[in-house]
Structure 1
Amino acid sequence: MANRSVTARPSVGRVLAWIYLAVIILITLFPFYWILRTALSNNFALHTDASSLLPVDFTWGAFKRALGLASVAEAQAEGGSGASLNTALYLRNSVIYAGVQTALVVFCSATAAYAFSRLRWKGREVVFSVLLCALMVPAIFTLIPNFVTVKNLGLTNTFAGMILPGAFFSAFNIFFLRQFMLGLSTEVEEAATIDGAGPLRVFFRIVLPMCAAPIATLCLLTFINTWNDYFWPLMVTSDESVRPLTLALAVFKQASPNTAVDWAGLMAATLIAAAPMLLLFVVFGRRIVNSIGFTGIK
């Protein structure tokens, strides 16, 4: 008797679930598509067919304006204001700002997490409880005190002024790494201590290598958050030499207040600014999810 292959019909619930996911994905990705569609359009032509789903009068001119490769005449011919971005300079500033702050805050968070999870000292639990309270304080509440401090120290319009206020403390990072360290086996550390290794040597030679995955995740998350930061650089910088790319986008938008906004150029500049972060998410997205799961292991 011949075997007949039976194809199971998908249940109604499964079909509805896939439809729901498809709608969510469409809603999530459509703004990115609209930004790309606008960036590939002629800024003059955009007003003639604003509802078109395809680029209106397709052109790469907006990207040339955003990269500073178009002349004033070429920019104005496509509806641009004539302004351009010094993209290389602003990218350098963003890399310095995000890179240095990420290195400092993750290293300081790792040392603090080690102290809270491995070292025994009086008042440790009380101090950690106070630290957890910092998670409930909105970051915007600290902007004014930090600004006053930076101004009094004469650090406005400097990388140090942008980096230092947030470089040495992150309640979330400390909590994240402490939870992971609590789940690590202490046998190797105890053996190293018996052999004469001190706390610093144990931390650098044993604990840090074992925490490579969550530390890499925190580096990625911190870098992305710092790269996208807007309000703090806006408060402490006005000099082009230290202005990050996110702040430069707003300056580009307001470059010619007497003319219409160069939406195509602004969207092209936004894509250039977002491209590194999107690439990081695509490459390391799975690592983020996996490392967050590690915090529940004990």
Structure 2
Amino acid sequence: MSTSTISESGKSNRTKSVRLSKIIGRIILYLLLITGAVVMLIPFFWMLSTSLKESYQVFSVPPKWIPNPIRWDNYVKTFQSLPFGKWLGNTVLITGTTIIGTLFSCTVVAYGFARFQAKGKNVLFLVMLATMMLPSAVTMIPVFYLFKTLGWVNTFLPLIVPSFFGNAFFIFLLRQFYMSIPTELEDAAKIDGLGTLGILWRIIVPLTMPALTTVAIFQFNGAWNDFMGPLIYLSKPDLYTLSLGINFFKSENNVQWNYLMAASVVTMLPSLILYFVGQKYFIEGISLSGGIKG
């Protein structure tokens, strides 16, 4: 056997060994991911299963993952026994308004930081970023006193109005995205006669939809699941949001866990649907890529 034949045989064996190690590595990775996904989904499956059980089956030992009989009417009874519709309407109103306010304010401010040249701009940007280091507990009392002085307690205004003044993390996220867009596009738009707002609306916003979708998803989850804000500012049951109302229902002595889990499933569904619909843009927005595709 010639030397070249032995060399080729050795290369072939090494190639097969590398391929085999890659396949084994992928199998191990997928097994770990599947195991982690199953562990993370167990609480959701238990919640869904509990929402379809009779009350006496909730804490049965051993637990029954598939209820028998399946009580779909638990969801109907949940709406009938709780002012669920009112809480849902309040939550939708607050969430939708804060998304609009956040997108508008953060887009304008981030574009200003990314493109405008002004004395002290970098200092202001650093000060804005520094606000992210302040724990919410530090500002909770003075902010509450401010809103109480304005007469906004027991209204939705303390939960809505701050969103129209921007969010430091979202402004930072959008600014980084805007800075990845070539300025030549804006120069060409200026030659065509577009002003600053026209460039922002017609050029920048369409190119940054992944980042804006990411901001919208984050803001939706934050407002939809917010508990501390409504707890501080809302004390009238008619003004409760879903998170506050469900917690109030849970605090009752004779809480029915099957109804509570049904309410929790309904509350969680919009977040799941929104993420699955916008996951493509969400991933692009987080990676800060995709500003220009060519």
Instruction: Give me the TM-score of the superposition, normalised by structure 2.
Output: 0.85
Query: Is residue 2:281 matched to residue 1:270?
Result: no
Query: Is residue 2:275 matched to residue 1:281?
Result: yes
Q: Residue 27 of structure 2 is aligned with which of 12, 15, 22? A: 15
Q: Distance in 1 between matches of 2:118 and 2:206?
A: 24
Residue 293 of structure 1 corresponds to 287
Please say if residues 63 and 265 of structure 1, whose CA atoms lie closer than 8 Å, have aligned partners that are also in contact. Answer: yes
Q: Distance in 2 between matches of 1:291 and 1:252?
A: 37
Within 5 Å, give how 1:87-236 maps onto structure 2.
87-236=84-233
1:207 to 1:286, Cα distance in 2 relative to 1, 3 A:
closer
Residue 71 of structure 1 corresponds to none
Structure 1 runs, 4 residues or longer, greater than 6 Å off: none
Q: Distance in 2 between matches of 1:184 and 1:168?
A: 25
Residue 80 of structure 1 corresponds to none
RMSD (CA atoms): 2.3
Query: Is residue 2:37 matched to residue 1:31?
Result: no
Aligned residues: 274
Q: Distance in 1 between matches of 2:188 and 2:57?
A: 72
Please say if residues 209 and 281 of structure 2, whose CA atoms lie closer than 8 Å, have aligned partners that are also in contact. Answer: no
Residue 62 of structure 1 corresponds to 74
Within 5 Å, give how 1:235-274 maps onto structure 2.
235-254=232-251, 256-257=252-253, 259=254, 261-274=255-268
Residue identity over aligned pairs, in percent, reads: 32
Structure with the higher helix share, 1 or 2? 2
Q: Offset at 1:295?
A: 5.2
Counterpart amino acid of 2:70? F
Q: Distance in 2 between matches of 1:239 and 1:25?
A: 40
Please say if residues 284 and 290 of structure 2, whose CA atoms lie closer than 8 Å, have aligned partners that are also in contact. Answer: no
Q: Distance in 2 between matches of 1:252 and 1:167?
A: 32
Q: Offset at 1:66?
A: 1.4
Counterpart amino acid of 1:247? L
Report SS of the residue matched to 1:120: coil
Please say which of residues 179-188 and 8-17 is displaced more in the overlay: 8-17
Residue 46 of structure 1 corresponds to 58
Q: Distance in 1 between matches of 2:167 and 2:195?
A: 26
Q: Distance in 2 between matches of 1:158 and 1:295?
A: 40
Please say if residues 186 and 199 of structure 2, whose CA atoms lie closer than 8 Å, have aligned partners that are also in contact. Answer: yes
Please say which of residues 15-24 and 223-232 is displaced more in the overlay: 15-24
Counterpart amino acid of 1:268? A
Counterpart amino acid of 1:252? F
1:201 to 1:297, Cα distance in 2 relative to 1, 3 A:
closer
Please say if residues 46 and 56 of structure 1, whose CA atoms lie closer than 8 Å, have aligned partners that are also in contact. Answer: no
Which structure 1 segments of 5+ residues have no match?
1-5, 69-83
Q: Distance in 1 between matches of 2:182 and 2:198?
A: 17
Q: 1:2-40: per-residue Cα shift (whole Å, max 9, x none)?
A: xxxx9x867433332222111101011111100011111
Q: 1:134-161: per-residue Cα shift (whole Å, max 9, x none)?
A: 2222334332222111111111111212
Which structure 2 segments of 5+ residues have no match?
1-15
